[in-house]
Amino acid sequence: MRRDLRLDNVGRRYGLRGPWVLRAVNLAMAPGTLTRVEGANGTGKSTFLRLLAGIDAPTEGRITGRPRTAYVPERFPTALPFTALGYLTHLGTVHGLSRESAQRTAGDWLERFGAAGYARTPMAQLSKGSSQKVAVAQALLAEPELLVLDEAWTGLDTDARAELERAVAERTAAGASVVFVDHDPRRLAGVPDVICTVHDGSVNRRTEQQTSRGSGPRTVVVAQGPSGGTLPAETARLPLTALEETTAGTYRVTVPASHSDVLLRALLTARPPWHVVTVGSEEAQ
């Protein structure tokens, strides 16, 4: 079992005499946790994310237990001498995939984000939105155990934004941790397990209670299991907003819409598979 990512007395300031941006940050982050980081402009959210991602080092204190990590920076460097597919394939091989499998995985991610048409376009010629799709794909490619997203939804079109929410749901369902900052309070609303607020150099952590979950669109799935069946184990990792056994072996399961694909996959790939009776949507009150 993986250990927690721990920050012990972490501080960061820029320059020898710069003001402390973060100070005395003590935190533990358990595997499989979805964490939203909030705070006013300029309070140090990106600094905190860079430290978590290992892109930057603390000025004081220690960070331990960082698993295999991927990061989407607030500003992705676009002037790289590669095509989109070439860049992602190259990164895939850096992550240990064979060239063939790196190219296939890279192509799959471009397809998922609706950017397959730009696969052979040089990175420097991509629009802001398309280059953001490459930024996101490079992080998801390696199936990281910790995914750090700094405003990663910014610049994406509606479909790609929803796809990124689904990809986050897949990572957490697979037991990975995801930490994100997003200016839109509706982003994955009601889904995070933990909210970290950066304020005055401190990071305050609070756990989201199950009861406060469920703002934002939801999907309601009615599914029938094999007789006497209990829900597949993967569903225990999903942020269910409601669960009701309507008749013996038939469940009505409500999840945030971002997590419906993960739920359906868990039900349909269970052995023996579940029968999905209906799938509907519901707006939270």
Nearest approach in angstroms of CB 47 to ligand ATP is 3
Return the residue of 5, 33, 39, 69 that touches ligand ATP, per CB under 6 A.
Answer: 39
Q: Does 14 bind ligand ATP (CB under 6 A)?
A: yes
Residues 225 and 253 sit within 8 Å (Cβ to Cβ): no
Nearest approach in angstroms of CB 200 to ligand ATP is 12
Distance CA 131, CA 77 (A): 9
Q: Does 243 bind ligand ATP (CB under 6 A)?
A: no
Residues 40 and 84 sit within 8 Å (Cβ to Cβ): no
Residues 112 and 162 sit within 8 Å (Cβ to Cβ): no
Q: Does 219 bind ligand ATP (CB under 6 A)?
A: no
How many other CB atoms sit within 10 Å of the CB of residue 200? 12
What are the Cα distances from residue 183, in Å, to 70, 73, 77, 188? 20, 14, 21, 12
Nearest approach in angstroms of CB 83 to ligand ATP is 30
Nearest approach in angstroms of CB 135 to ligand ATP is 16
Tell me whether residue 21 or residue 168 sits nearer to ligand ATP (CB atom).
21
Q: Where does this chain touch ligand ATP (CB under 6 A) — which range of 35-43, 65-73, 157-165, 271-279? A: 35-43
83 bridge partner residues: 122
Return the residue of 46, 69, 89, 132 that touches ligand ATP, per CB under 6 A.
Answer: 46
Q: Where does this chain touch ligand ATP (CB under 6 A) — which range of 44-52, 76-84, 87-95, 241-249? A: 44-52
Q: Does 42 bind ligand ATP (CB under 6 A)?
A: yes
Q: Does 44 bind ligand ATP (CB under 6 A)?
A: yes
Nearest approach in angstroms of CB 14 to ligand ATP is 3
Task: Find tokens 């509907």 and name the residue.
Answer: 280
Nearest approach in angstroms of CB 74 to ligand ATP is 6
Tell me whether residue 35 or residue 47 sits nearer to ligand ATP (CB atom).
47
Tell me whether residue 39 or residue 239 sits nearer to ligand ATP (CB atom).
39
Nearest approach in angstroms of CB 12 to ligand ATP is 8
Return the residue of 21, 149, 156, 173 that touches ligand ATP, per CB under 6 A.
Answer: 21
Return the residue of 23, 36, 45, 133 that touches ligand ATP, per CB under 6 A.
Answer: 45
Q: Write out the residues near ligand ATP by the rule CB under 6 A.
A: 14, 21, 39, 41-47
